[in-house]
């Protein structure tokens, strides 16, 4: 009896399908269009597994052979940030989006904050250009052994670690209404990275350069404080706290620069 029940349950599961409505685009310059697929259901299935199933058998819900869906993935454990897309209207990582927790039909769209390359693949080069703009790294003077660097206090190290979880996935930029083609706003992730590297004992050497970059066009002044970013961030990074901290740091820096040696009165 037990074997019969298991067999019936397996047959019922095999007969169940999940419907995906996917926005596709053949090239950066072509118009987007929608295509629907019915994917055999499996327990604990995520969006990536469904896309892999479509790739193995690219036949749409009308029974027509089509081209495989193009998307990006790498780590499959929400660390690399490559598989970002808009799922049921919400930007998130597709590797951790479980089918059982999503309403059907499940809609998949590319993030529109970035140029679409093809289907669900986008070009996030603007994010990496912004990382260069704010100098989001710790410069090393030479390749020789400089010995141990200065230590961070444990409490400071703990919250800095939270900021270091950023995957440059682009989800917070997609969720932010101020990141669009009418502004040059670099977005919350990049501002938080400035806070991370300015807090590092060695990275603090370039603190002023980073603050200068944040005070330029597309920097802190473009933030509208919608707080969408902190809700959307898959790693739970306190992005709004970082923005507030950088606003304070930029204000202090501005006063110090204004009342510097050129403005001091004897």
Residue-wise pLDDT for 1-41, tens only, equals 555 544 544 444 455 999 999 999 999 999 999 999 999 99
Q: What are the chain's domains? A: 2-122 (3.10.20.30), 125-139+147-262 (1.10.1060.10)
- pLDDT confidence bin for 194, thresholds 50/70/90: very high
Count CB-CB contacts under 10 A for residue 105: 16
Q: What is the pTM of this model?
A: 0.86
**Which among 187, 192, 162, 161 has a CA at the least distance from the CA of 172?**
187
State the pLDDT at residue 229.
Answer: 96
State the pLDDT at residue 264: 41
Report strand pairing: 90-93 vs 84-87: antiparallel
pLDDT tens-digit readout, 227-257: 999 999 999 999 999 999 999 999 999 998 8
Task: Round to whole Å and give the CA distance between 234 and 87.
Answer: 13
**What is the tens place of the pLDDT at every residue in 126-143?**
999 999 999 999 887 666
55-99: pLDDT as tens digits: 999 999 999 999 999 999 999 899 999 999 999 999 999 999 999
* 14 touches 40 (CB < 8 A): yes
Report, as an integer, the average pLDDT of 90-109: 96
Predicted local distance difference test score (pLDDT) of residue 3? 56
**Given this model, what pLDDT does residue 263 score?**
47
Span 142-190, pLDDT tens digits = 666 767 778 888 999 999 999 999 999 999 999 999 999 889 999 999 9
pLDDT score at 11: 46
What are the CB-based long-range contacts (under 8 Å, 24+) for 180-184? 180/113, 183/218, 183/222, 184/217, 184/218, 184/222
- Which pair of structure tokens corresponds to residue 34? 């929608």
**For residue 4, what pLDDT is reported?**
53
91, 84 in Cβ contact below 8 A?
A: yes
């Amino acid at each position: 009896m037990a074997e019969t029940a298991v067999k019936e349950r397996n047959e019922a599961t095999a007969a169940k399908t999940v419907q995906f409505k996917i926005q596709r685009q053949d090239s950066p310059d072509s118009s987007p269009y929608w295509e629907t697929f019915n994917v055999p259901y499996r327990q604990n299935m995520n969006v990536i597994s469904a896309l892999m199933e479509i790739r193995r058998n690219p036949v749409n819900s009308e029974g027509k052979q089509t081209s495989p869906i193009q998307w990006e993935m790498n780590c499959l454990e929400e660390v690399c940030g490559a598989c970002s897309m808009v799922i049921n209207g919400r930007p998130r990582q597709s590797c951790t989006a479980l089918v059982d927790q999503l309403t059907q039909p499940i809609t998949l769209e590319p993030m529109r904050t970035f140029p679409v390359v093809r289907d669900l693949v986008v070009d996030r080069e603007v994010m990496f250009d912004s990382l260069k703009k704010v100098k989001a790294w710790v410069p090393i003077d030479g390749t020789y052994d400089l010995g141990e660097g200065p230590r961070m206090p444990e409490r400071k190290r703990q919250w800095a670690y939270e900021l270091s979880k950023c995957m440059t996935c682009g989800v917070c930029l997609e969720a932010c209404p101020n990141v669009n083609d009418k502004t040059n706003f670099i977005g919350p992730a990049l501002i938080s990275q400035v806070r991370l590297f300015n807090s590092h004992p060695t990275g603090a050497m370039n603190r002023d350069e980073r603050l200068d970059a944040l005070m330029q066009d597309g920097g802190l002044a473009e933030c509208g404080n919608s707080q969408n970013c902190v809700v959307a961030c898959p790693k739970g990074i306190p992005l709004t706290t970082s923005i507030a901290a950088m606003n304070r740091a930029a204000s202090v820096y501005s006063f110090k620069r204004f009342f510097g040696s050129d403005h001091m009165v004897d």
